[in-house]
Structure 1
Amino acid sequence: MAEPTSPYARELDVAIIAATAAGRIVRYYYDAASARTYEKDDGSLVTDADLASDRLIREIIGAHFPDDPILTEEGIDDLERLTHARCWIADPIDGTEQFIHRTGDFDVLIALAVNGRPVVAAGVNPPTGLLCAAMLGRGAWIRDTADKELQSFKLRPRDNADPARLATSVWFGAPANAPLVEAVHRRFNTTRLAALKIGFTPRIFLPFQAIDAYLGIRLGDDQAMGWEWDFATADLFIHEAGGHVTDLSGKPFRYNKPLPRNVNGLIAARDPATHQRLASAVQAELASRQESGAVGNDWPPEQPVAPDT
């Protein structure tokens, strides 16, 4: 747990408790294969495990911080949160389809954003119990199983002598983005190009993934990548572990927005130098395509405005 004198120490402890507890209940449903599946109004899927995890996260955070708003994928978005500097952001199961298809590649994600940026984060992979946690300015930690202590974690910078290993995702443009990603791949001088089936998990740069950089990009002007609950935990964890995360223009993501959607693509890397190289390759390719008319004229796209409620 965090040192008592650390900023947001209590918040980090609660985030870890909530993520761990929610991870256990998700694991219960996963092992029992008993969760029913429902279709939401937008056509996406939700299960009993998502809903049980959401209730437990809200219960634990609400008990410790009753004045803080909570924004989750499965809850009703109360725009009163916009009047608060602090907002908890959670995804009860990031990777519901992976849960349904029993791949093991899904997470419970929790973060606290203050003044638009995450300051505390905790993510748990329920099948393994692996915990990734971070606090702004204090570092990142991992815990292999629930009965082990947190261990300080740093990403190993990529050896510049080796070509970088680049990945994109089916959730962030693949396979339709293949021509664009291949072109960036050539400019970036990568040795391996993969299209993953997982989203922006804090586990993305752990050794078993064997990648150095992660690119979310779509053909055309629509560069909406995901919701705030899909990004906040990994954003802070990667930064505190020594990596770098921005949109395609090099700007940090903002959180607790009127419309909690992250746009303008995604560039993440295990170290700032690799991020800069990838960002330069992306911008060069987009500029070339815009000159030739291969992409729209409104690059980068503006942040969408939330509908009136």
Structure 2
Amino acid sequence: MPVRDAQTDRDDTDLLTEAARAAGEIALTFFRKDPRRWTKENDSPVSEADIAVDRHLEELLRAARPGYGWLSEETADDRIRLEKRRSFVVDPIDGTRGFLAGSDEWTVALAVVEDGRPVSAVVYRPVNGDLYRATLGSGTTLNGQSAAISRRTALQGSSLAGPRTLSDGTKLEGHGLARIGYVPSLALRLAMVAAGRVDVAVARENACDWDLAAADLLVQEAGGRLEDMSGTPLAYNRPSVRHPALLAGPPALVDPLRVLLADPG
């Protein structure tokens, strides 16, 4: 197997940072201005803002790295990416429903994946300027400062982010978990875990590569884990881009939370 180039990873993270900031500026020109919108086949919304940002990102990133594959939520999947060792994985606006509803909890989520795992990642929240970055082996930062996963070691008193279908109910409350308000952007939800702003997070099944790849590296480099309910890490840039239900957080919380969520009682 070819040796991974750490300098290339760092350069790619810098490129993703530049691209995310530019994408955020474009998205903000549509934010709270009633952009044209429609519904995709899977009943999820898309707007002219998503398309404008996606086109800009594709032009900028593919010009900078013509040898990389391309996987984006808003671009038809031509499967050429499967032949590439490195690929961009892009969500031009993660949390489109929130974006269209006027919520400020949406992000631009960008990653470079190598051999199925993210090596460079940026999650950018344009409304408040929060910029989460990670490069494989170099840690996670939030606005230039080192970020780390929660230090909690017990579920009692821990905060949890996720959809009510996975994270609500008396069972969790009985173990002392406090559910925070719903965060429309899954990438942001996981980035908040990476920065220790939330202790643990869960995601329902069918999240896609573009929802997860960037935040996955943030969590990993901050000292945490993102994995499915069997404890298996995720693989990206595969023929299927969909994933099962997931949980993220520090190892001391992820393992007991998995057992708790798997218990039908």
Do both share a fold (TM > 0.5)?
yes
Does the C-alpha gap of structure 1 residues 277 and 153 become closer, same or farther in structure 2, counting only changes over 3 Å?
A: same
Q: 1:225–1:266: 8 Å Cα contact kept in structure 2?
A: no
Helix, strand or coil at the partner of 1:30: coil
For residue 248 of structure 2, what is the aligned residue in structure 1?
Answer: 268
Count of paired positions: 259
Give the partner amino acid of 2:137.
Answer: G
Q: Could you tell me the TM-score, scaled by structure 1's length? A: 0.76
Q: 1:158–1:274: 8 Å Cα contact kept in structure 2?
A: yes
RMSD: 2.4
User: Is structure 2 residue 229 aligned with structure 1 residue 248?
Assistant: yes
Deviations, residues 139-162 of structure 1 (Å, cap 9, x unaligned): 11122xxxxxx2222234115495
Helix, strand or coil at the partner of 1:261: coil
Helix, strand or coil at the partner of 1:77: coil
2:187 to 201, 205, 211: 201
> Structure 2: which 5+ runs fail to align?
none
Does the C-alpha gap of structure 1 residues 274 and 62 become closer, same or farther in structure 2, counting only changes over 3 Å?
A: same
Give the partner amino acid of 2:77.
Answer: D
Whole-angstrom CA distance in 2 between matches of 1:13 and 1:49 = 24
After TM superposition, the structure 1 = structure 2 runs for residues 114-129 of structure 1, keeping only pairs within 5 Å, are 114-129=114-129
Give the percent of matched residue pairs that are identical in Structure 1 and Structure 2: 30
Deviations, residues 20-69 of structure 1 (Å, cap 9, x unaligned): 110111112216x1522123333322111111110111111111101111
For residue 225 of structure 1, what is the aligned residue in structure 2?
Answer: 206
Whole-angstrom CA distance in 1 between matches of 2:61 and 2:243 = 24
Helix, strand or coil at the partner of 1:205: helix
Give the partner amino acid of 1:129.
Answer: G
User: Is structure 2 residue 250 aligned with structure 1 residue 257?
Assistant: no
Whole-angstrom CA distance in 2 between matches of 1:124 and 1:91 = 11
2:201 to 184, 207, 214: 214
For residue 59 of structure 2, what is the aligned residue in structure 1?
Answer: 59
Does the C-alpha gap of structure 1 residues 247 and 199 become closer, same or farther in structure 2, counting only changes over 3 Å?
A: farther
Helix, strand or coil at the partner of 1:112: strand
Q: With CA pairs under 8 Å and 6+ residues apart, which has the higher RCO, 1 or 2? A: 2
For residue 8 of structure 1, what is the aligned residue in structure 2?
Answer: 9
Helix, strand or coil at the partner of 2:192: coil
Whole-angstrom CA distance in 2 between matches of 1:161 and 1:237 = 22
Give the partner amino acid of 1:166.
Answer: L
Q: Could you tell me the TM-score, scaled by structure 2's length? A: 0.88
